[in-house]
Amino acid sequence: MKKPLVLISLLLVLALALTACSASFDPAKNISVVAREDGSGTKTAFMELIGLRGKADPRHVVTQNGVAGVLAEVKGNPHAVAYESLGYVTKDVKALKVNGVEASVANIKNGTYQIARPLSVVYKESTLSNSLYNAFLTFLKSSNAQNIINDEGYVSVVDNAAAYTINSSLSGTIEISGSTSLQPLMGELASAFKKLQPNVTINVAGGGSGTGYNNAENGVSQFGMISEVFGQARAASCTHYIVAQDGIAVIVNKKNPLDNITMDQLKNIYDVDAGASAILKWDALVK
Amino acid sequence: MNKAYRFIKARDNVMRGIFLFCAVFSVMALGCICVFLFAEGLPFIGKVGPANFFGTTWHLDSAAYGILSMIVASLYVTALSTAIGVTAGLFTAISLYKFCPPKAVPPIRQMINLLAGIPSVIFGLFGLIIIVPFLRDVISPNGMGYGILAASLVLSVMILPTIVSVSLDALNAVPKNYFEGAIALGATKEQSVFKVMLPAAKSGVLAAVVLSIGRAIGETMAVIMVIGNSPVMPTSLFQSVRTMTANIALGATELSGDAATALVATGVVLFFFTLLLNLSISLLRGGGGRERKGA
């Protein structure tokens, strides 16, 4: 009496699971817009780069608090679109071309891929006459630093870098402040440098790119961090070094036939105030 | 003799001190949390104004800290998950009480209790990988799997163990002769259970409901993973919304300044809801005690 019941319910569950798995792409469906949580560096950078700085998310967006959540959603949902640091994008999802340019390390380095920005330190040339500060800049260019940059999901800009050579006579304090976008990476780099040079203390503070320019110009910090293209006018006596590039890929499900997206389309997907030009369904993008 | 007595007395005093410290420690922890919540949260609500804080717009860049939509979402999720969970859990308890083969009861109870030990992040993962895609592709009219329904389904499974074990204990606590009396008067087994035993266990069942409401409103991790987290007023079961707990957890490690204080203030509101629940539990417990004495 009970066995058929159990069997039927099992079959039902199996059938439901199968239908759930075999979902295919349908252009008439709504775009599932995925975003990161407020305060995420990736979100701030992405919104800024597509021209939506400081705007709220559209009402229908799904917020995932982490790389894993974003990737899982895009992997499983044929109608999802999301953004994530290029270094974290896996083979389970598809990265779109933006304005016809593929999201690749090479295209970020040569500046053709648009959703990318340099993360730099600004400093005075005279700073480098100090052997400690000079050693730190050398470290930033070394293979030790490039490995950390790649591991953290950023694009390293120095090819064939040499390993850092330890100078046991170094000691002192380095003050670094500025962009909160570069701050987490700089924190990692600083702690790696401290492991190599145990007598050195490095203070990495935030404050924003503006603070980075000002503190470097006024000598408050030896290195100021900025997350934009270096503007000489903002720190007249300083020069800069690009530590890494922050590239953000636009990702969709592998079943999605779309290959390319324009900056305008992207903006109309993520703009809460897009109004009539808002793109809500995939058929606006997939012909 | 005297020496041994003094030793025992000293040992007693030491132990008394340790126990007192433990008791004071937990009270102090509660006190610290309360002071932290209110000292940080209440001035913030005063500063931005209750109209802003209990408004509908949450947008940090324009200093809008409205959490009304999150309060509403929390209440919806709690109500729906309790409705689903209590229905399923109560019938499970009744079935285990009288209708299930006696040999099957201990293993089933064990398994349900095991459910209580599964970390909530696992429930969230289950929801994210199975329930959300299923709702999205099969049930949802608008192609959105995230939302109140997904969160409620996940939560209703999470509160099952509470409901089943507490209401089963309540049923077991009812004197057996009630059941025998009902049967002797000619009632069927079903009638005796539903019309005699269940009403007699009412206060215990209600306590189970209140306990599970507490679990549902406070659950965070599993909810974050399946509700979508968009801070908008809920208008549909399949819509990305955000609960109060999700709001706190999402921003806790990333935000600073006023935005971080806004999360503490969200915690104050949550604290009031929890307080309300705890008060109703003690009221129910008091009511239950009187009833049993009368019977």
pLDDT tens digits, A103-119 = 988 888 888 998 988 89
The answer to whether the Cβ–Cβ distance between B128 and A55 falls below 8 Å is no
Q: How far is A176 from chain B (nearest CA, A)?
A: 20
Q: What is the pLDDT of residue B295?
A: 38
Question: Which token pair is B139?
Answer: 């049930």
Domain count, chain A: 2
Using 50, 70 and 90 to split pLDDT, how confident is the model at A249?
Answer: very high
Mutate to test the interface with A, among B56, B70, B247, B250 (most CBs of A within 10 A): B250
Which chain B residue shows the shortest CA-CA distance from A56?
B59
Read off the pLDDT of residues B80-102 as tens digits, 9 standing for 90 and up: 999 999 999 999 999 999 898 98
Q: Give the pLDDT score at A28.
A: 85
pLDDT at B183 over 80: yes
A79 vs B143, B242, B255: nearest CB: B143
pTM above 0.90, yes or no: no
What mean pLDDT is predicted for residues B247-257? 82
Contacts of B142 in chain A (CB under 8 A): 30
A234 and A123 belong to one structural domain: yes
| Averaged pLDDT, B154-169 | 94
Give A243's pLDDT tier (boundaries 50, 70, 90): very high
Residue A11 counted as domain residue: no
- Among all chains, which residue has been given the structure tokens 């089943």? B164
pLDDT at A29: 85
DSSP element (H, E) containing A70: helix A67-76
User: How many residues in total does chain A contain?
Assistant: 287
Q: Looking only at Cα atoms, what is the longest distance across chain B?
A: 83
- Inter-chain touch A63–B242, beta carbons under 8 Å: yes
Whether A63 and B250 lie within 8 Å, measured CB to CB: yes
Partner residue opposite B144 with nearest CB, options A19, A32, A40: A32
Smallest CA–CA distance, residue B244 to chain A, in Å, is 14
Structure tokens at A129: 């006459």
Q: Do B134 and A65 touch (CB under 8 A)?
A: no
Q: In chain A, which among 72-91 make CB contacts under 8 A with chain B?
A: 72-73, 76-77, 79
Domain contains A12: no
Q: Chain-centre distance of CA B223, in angstroms?
A: 12
Query: Does the residue A187 lie in any domain?
Result: yes
Contact B242 A56 (CB under 8 A): no
Of B96, B86, B116, B88, residue with least CA distance to B212: B86
Average pLDDT of chain B to the nearest whole number: 89
- Using DSSP's 3-state secondary structure scheme, residue B98 falls into helix
Residue A161 is assigned to a structural domain of this protein = yes
Question: What is the domain extent for residue A67?
Answer: 29-115+248-284
CA distance B261 to chain A (A): 14
Find the closest chain B residue to A32 by CA distance: B144
For residue B171, the model assigns a pLDDT of 94
Q: Which two tokens stand for residue A176?
A: 């670094």
Enumerate the residues of chain B whose CB falls inside 8 A of the CB of residue A23.
133, 136-137
| CATH number for position A123 | 3.10.105
Nearest by CB to A39, from B59, B224, B251: name it: B251
User: Using CB atoms and an 8 Å cut-off, which of residues 253-282 of chain A contact chain B?
Assistant: none
pLDDT at B285 > cutoff 80: no
Contact B133 A62 (CB under 8 A): no
In sequence order, the 6+-apart residues with CB closer than 8 A to the CB of B14 are none
The verdict on A124 touching B (C-beta cutoff 8 Å) is: no
The alpha-carbon gap from B79 to the nearest alpha carbon of chain A, in Å, equals 22
A39 and A68 both lie in a single domain: yes
Give yes or no: residues A92 and A188 share one domain.
Answer: no
CB contact under 8 A, A60 and B230: yes
- ipTM confidence: 0.72
Burial class (CB in 10 A: 0-12, 13-18, 19+), B106: exposed
Asked if B137 lies within 8 A of A20 by C-beta distance, the reply is yes
Residues A153 and A131 in one domain: yes
| Claim to verify: residue A190 and residue A133 sit in the same structural domain | yes
- In this complex, is the C-beta atom of A6 within 8 Å of any C-beta atom belonging to chain B? no
pLDDT at site A73: 87
Query: Per the domain annotation, does A13 fall within a domain?
Result: no
Q: In this complex, how many residue pairs, one in chain A and one in chain B, have their CB atoms less than 8 Å apart?
A: 82
Q: Where are the alpha helices (DSSP H) in B59-131?
A: 68-94, 105-117, 120-126
pLDDT single digits (tens) B194-213: 999 999 999 899 989 988 99
Compute the C-alpha angle A32/A36/A39, nearest 5°: 150
- Report the DSSP pairing between strands A155-156 and B58-59: unpaired
Q: Is the pLDDT of residue B1 over 70?
A: no
The answer to whether B112 touches B92, Cβ cutoff 8 Å, is yes
Give me the helix-helix angle, A183-196 and A131-141, nearest 10°.
Answer: 110
Whether residue B97 contacts residue B197, with contact meaning beta carbons closer than 8 Å, is answered with yes
For residues A254 and A162, membership in a common domain is answered with no
State the best of A40, A77, A180, A272 to mutate against chain B, taking most chain B CBs within 10 Å.
A77
- Together in a domain, A111 and A132: no
Residue A18 lies in a domain: no
Task: Print burial letters for A168-182: b (CB count within 10 Å at least 16), e (below 16).
Answer: eebeeebbbbbbbbb
Locate the chain A residue with the closest alpha carbon to B246: A65
Residue among A134, A114, A131 nearest A123 (CA): A134
What tokens does B282 get? 């003690």
Return the amino acid letter for B242.
R
Instruction: Please check whether residues A108 and A127 belong to one and the same domain.
Output: no
Quick one: angle between helices B202-218 and B148-173, nearest 10? 150
Residues of B in contact with A54 (CB under 8 A): 61-62
Residues A207, A145 share a domain = yes
Give the HSE-up count for residue B193: Cα atoms under 13 Å, Cβ half-sphere. 15
Lowest mean pLDDT among A34-43, B57-66, B163-172, B231-240: A34-43
* Distance, CA of B221 to CA of B119 (rounded, Å): 9
Q: How confident is the model at residue B292 (pLDDT cuts 50, 70, 90)?
A: very low
- Cα A193–Cα A197–Cα A198 angle in degrees, nearest 5: 110
> How far is A185 from A181, CA to CA, in rounded Å?
8
Q: How far is A258 from chain B (nearest CA, A)?
A: 19
Q: Which residue of A has its CA nearest to B232?
A: A59
A29: chain B residues, CB-CB within 8 Å:
143
Mean pLDDT along residues A154-166: 86
Nearest CA to A65 out of A41, A90, A47, A87 is that of A41
Supply the CATH number for residue A110's domain. 3.40.190.10
Write down the residue that tokens 């992405």 correspond to: A46
- Same domain as A109, residue A144: no
Q: What is the mean pLDDT of chain A?
A: 87
Query: Residue A23: inside a domain, yes or no?
Result: no
CA-based nearest residue to B130, from A211, A32, A29, A17: A17
The CA distance from B86 to the nearest CA of chain A, in Å, is 22
A142 and A218 belong to one structural domain: yes
Interatomic CA distance for residues B167 and B157, integer angstroms? 16
Cβ contact B251–A77 (<8 Å): no
CA distance B38 to A35: 32
* Judgement on whether residues A153 and A185 belong to the same structural domain of the protein: yes
Residues of chain B that touch chain A, judged by Cβ-Cβ distance less than 8 Å: 59-62, 128-130, 133-134, 136-138, 142-146, 224-225, 228-230, 232, 239-240, 242, 249-251, 254-255, 259
What's the token pair of residue B44?
Answer: 């913030």
Any CB–CB contact under 8 A between A57 and chain B?
yes
From A75, which residue of chain B is nearest by alpha-carbon distance? B129
3-state secondary structure B138-161: HHCCCCCCCCHHHHHHHHHHHHHH
